[in-house]
C-alpha cells in the first residue's frame, strides 16, 4: 500500500514541475539566463592598441644640458648624464645573491674610488675601485637576516642613513661602517629616502610620511594619509621641491607637505575608490620635477603633469608605464610597459613621437619582457628589461643601436656615475665604460 502511495505522490510532483513555459522551474531558468545576458564585467580594462607615431621624426638634442655624477637628486630629475656609451664591461662587484630584484628600489652609493651596496642578509659592503671589499658590517639578528632585508641609502657628509623593508632605520659611519644609532619604526618602509638640512624623509607601508632627525633618528613629525589596508606592489616615491616634500601612496594620492611642520599644503587624489580592488596590481612611476611641475605615470594608462605649488593638473595623456620618465629640455621621455618609447612635449603634453623598441621581440613572440627602467647618457637611452637584456637606443632617431644580454633573470635599472654605467643583477653589480 505504501508503495502505491509513493508512486501517486511522485506522479503528482512531476506534473507540477512540468517544463512547459508556464511552469515555475522554466520561469526560474529563463530568469537566470536573462540575468546572465545582462551581466557586465567591471574593472576590466580595454586593451589599448598602440601604434608608432612620427617614427622618422629626428630630434635635435644638441642644446640639452648634460649633468655629471648625479645619483641622489631631490627632484629625481636626472636628465641626460655624462656617459659616452662604449658599453664595455670593465668591472664586477660581487655579493651574495639578492632575491626579488623587481622589488628593489635601491641606489648604490658611488664614489670616485668605489661604491657601497648590500647583500641578501642585509650586510653593507664598501668596495674600492678595484672591486675589493674595504669593510663589511651587518646590524641584523639571525632571524632578521632570514627575511633578506632590502636597504635604501642616502649619504650625508660622513653619515650613511639606511632604511629597510623590515622597519629598521639607522646611521653608520662612512669611513668604517660603525653604527652611530639604530631605531625601529612601527611599520616597514616602502620608499626612497630624501634629505633636507638635518632631516630625512621616507614613507612606510601604512602610507605615512615620516620625518627623522639625521643626528639621532628622533622623529620630527609624521603625516598619515589614507590607508588601503592591503599591501601594494608599488614602491612609493618622494621628492623635495619649493620647500615642500611631495610623495605618492598606494591609492594614487599625491600629497605635498611643508618641510618644517609636516602640514598638508595640497593633496590630489588621482584614482577612484575602485582602486582598492586593484591595489595589488596598480603601480606608479617615481615622481620627477623640474621645480615647476611634477610628472609621473601609472599602469592605468595615465601620464600626469601637475603644478608644484597648487597640485592642479596641467595636462594628462595616455601612457601605460610604471617606470620613471626623464626630462631633457622641453621634452619628456618615457617607455610604456608594452615597449614603446614616447617623446612628449613638457609644456602641453603633446605626444610628438612613438617608437616601438620591441619590434624584433614581437616577431619572435617573446612575452613578459616588461621594461625595468632606463638612464640617458650623452645622446643614447639605456633600457633594462626583465629578461636580463639591455637595449641601447639612439634618442635622436629612436632606433636600436645595440641589444646585449647580461643576465638570465631580471636586472635593475641602470645607474650612471663618473662616465660609467652600472647595473645590479643577482650576485653582482656590473660596471661598463
Query: The domain spanning residue 342 has which CATH number?
Result: 2.40.128.630
Mean pLDDT of 363-379: 81
Report whether 192 contacts 288 (CB < 8 A): no
Q: What is the reported pLDDT for 102?
A: 67
- Domain for residue 360, yes or no? yes
Task: Please enumerate in sequence order all residues whose Cβ is within 8 A of that of 136, keeping only pairs 6 or more positions apart, or say none.
Answer: 123, 124, 125, 126, 177
- Domain for residue 140, yes or no? no
**Strand intervals (E) in 199-319:** 199-203, 208-213, 219-224, 238-241, 244-248, 254-258, 264-268, 288-289, 293-298, 302-307, 313-317
Residue/partner pairs of 118-127 with CB below 8 Å, 24 or more apart: 118/151, 119/95, 120/95, 120/96, 120/148, 121/96, 121/145, 121/148, 122/148, 122/149, 122/151, 122/164, 123/95, 123/96, 124/151, 124/160, 124/162, 124/172, 124/177, 125/95, 126/177, 127/93
pLDDT bin (cut points 50, 70, 90) of residue 369 is: confident
pLDDT bin (cut points 50, 70, 90) of residue 409 is: confident
The span from the CA of 192 to the CA of 399, in Å, is 32
Q: What is the pLDDT of residues 247-258, one digit of tens each?
A: 999 999 999 999
Mean pLDDT of 9-32: 40
CA 146 to chain centre: 25
Report how many domains make up the chain.
Answer: 1
Closest by CA position to 207, among listed 194, 191, 221? 191
- Domain for residue 206, yes or no? no
139, three cell numbers: 646590524
Q: What is the reported pLDDT for 232?
A: 67
pLDDT bin (cut points 50, 70, 90) of residue 6 is: very low
- Domain for residue 283, yes or no? no
Under DSSP, the state recorded for 252 is -
154, three cell numbers: 642616502
Strand order in the sheet with 264-268: 238-241, 244-248, 254-258, 264-268
* pLDDT above 50: residue 17: no
The span from the CA of 143 to the CA of 123, in Å, is 14
CA 285 to chain centre: 5
Q: What is the reported pLDDT for 33?
A: 35
Q: What is the pLDDT of residues 113-165, one digit of tens each?
A: 999 999 999 999 999 999 999 999 999 999 999 999 999 999 999 999 999 99
The span from the CA of 153 to the CA of 162, in Å, is 5
The span from the CA of 380 to the CA of 398, in Å, is 9
159: helix, strand or coil:
strand
Stated pTM of the model: 0.87
Residue 412's domain comprises 57-105+324-433
Closest by CA position to 64, among listed 85, 52, 80, 53? 80
Mean pLDDT of 91-108: 85
- Domain for residue 413, yes or no? yes
Amino acid at each position: 500500500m505504501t508503495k502505491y502511495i509513493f508512486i501517486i505522490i511522485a506522479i503528482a510532483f512531476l506534473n507540477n514541475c512540468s517544463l512547459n513555459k508556464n511552469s515555475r522551474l522554466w520561469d526560474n531558468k529563463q530568469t537566470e539566463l536573462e540575468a546572465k545576458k545582462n551581466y557586465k564585467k567591471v574593472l576590466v580594462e580595454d586593451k589599448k592598441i598602440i601604434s608608432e607615431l612620427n617614427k622618422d621624426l629626428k630630434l635635435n638634442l644638441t642644446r640639452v644640458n648634460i649633468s655629471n655624477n648625479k645619483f641622489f637628486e631631490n627632484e629625481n630629475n636626472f636628465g641626460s648624464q655624462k656617459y659616452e656609451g662604449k658599453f664595455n664591461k670593465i668591472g664586477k662587484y660581487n655579493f651574495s645573491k639578492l632575491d626579488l630584484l623587481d622589488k628593489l628600489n635601491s641606489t648604490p652609493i658611488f664614489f670616485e674610488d668605489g661604491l657601497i651596496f648590500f647583500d641578501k642578509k642585509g650586510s653593507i659592503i664598501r668596495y674600492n675601485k678595484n672591486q675589493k671589499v674595504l669593510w663589511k658590517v651587518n646590524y641584523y639578528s639571525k632571524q632578521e637576516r632570514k627575511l633578506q632585508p632590502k636597504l635604501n641609502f642616502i649619504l650625508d657628509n660622513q653619515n650613511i642613513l639606511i632604511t629597510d623593508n623590515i622597519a629598521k632605520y639607522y646611521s653608520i659611519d662612512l669611513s668604517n661602517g660603525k653604527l652611530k644609532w639604530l631605531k625601529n619604526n612601527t611599520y616597514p618602509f616602502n620608499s626612497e629616502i630624501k634629505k633636507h638640512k638635518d632631516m630625512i624623509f621616507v614613507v612606510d607601508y601604512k602610507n605615512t610620511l615620516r620625518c627623522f632627525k639625521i643626528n639621532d633618528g628622533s622623529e620630527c613629525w609624521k603625516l598619515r594619509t589614507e590607508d588601503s589596508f592591503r599591501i601594494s606592489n608599488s614602491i612609493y616615491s618622494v621628492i623635495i621641491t619649493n620647500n615642500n616634500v611631495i610623495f605618492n601612496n598606494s591609492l594614487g594620492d599625491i600629497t605635498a607637505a611643508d618641510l618644517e611642520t609636516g602640514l598638508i599644503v595640497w593633496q590630489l587624489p588621482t584614482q577612484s575608490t575602485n582602486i582598492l580592488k586593484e591595489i595589488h596590481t596598480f603601480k606608479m612611476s617615481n615622481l620627477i620635477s623640474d621645480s615647476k611641475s611634477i610628472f609621473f605615470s601609472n599602469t592605468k594608462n595615465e601620464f600626469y603633469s601637475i603644478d608644484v605649488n597648487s597640485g592642479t593638473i596641467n595636462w594628462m595623456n595616455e601612457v601605460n608605464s610604471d617606470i620613471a620618465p626623464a626630462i631633457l629640455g622641453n621634452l619628456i621621455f618615457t617607455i610604456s610597459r608594452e615597449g614603446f618609447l614616447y617623446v612628449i612635449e613638457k609644456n602641453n603634453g603633446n605626444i610628438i613621437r612613438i617608437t616601438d623598441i620591441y619590434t624584433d621581440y614581437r616577431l619572435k613572440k617573446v612575452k613578459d619582457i616588461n621594461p625595468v627602467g632606463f638612464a640617458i647618457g650623452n645622446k643614447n637611452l639605456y633600457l633594462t628589461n626583465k629578461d636580463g637584456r639591455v637595449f641601447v637606443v639612439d634618442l635622436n632617431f629612436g632606433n636600436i643601436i645595440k641589444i646585449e644580454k647580461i643576465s638570465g633573470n631580471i636586472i635593475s635599472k641602470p645607474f650612471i656615475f663618473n662616465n660609467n654605467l652600472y647595473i645590479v643583477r643577482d650576485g653582482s653589480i656590473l660596471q661598463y665604460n
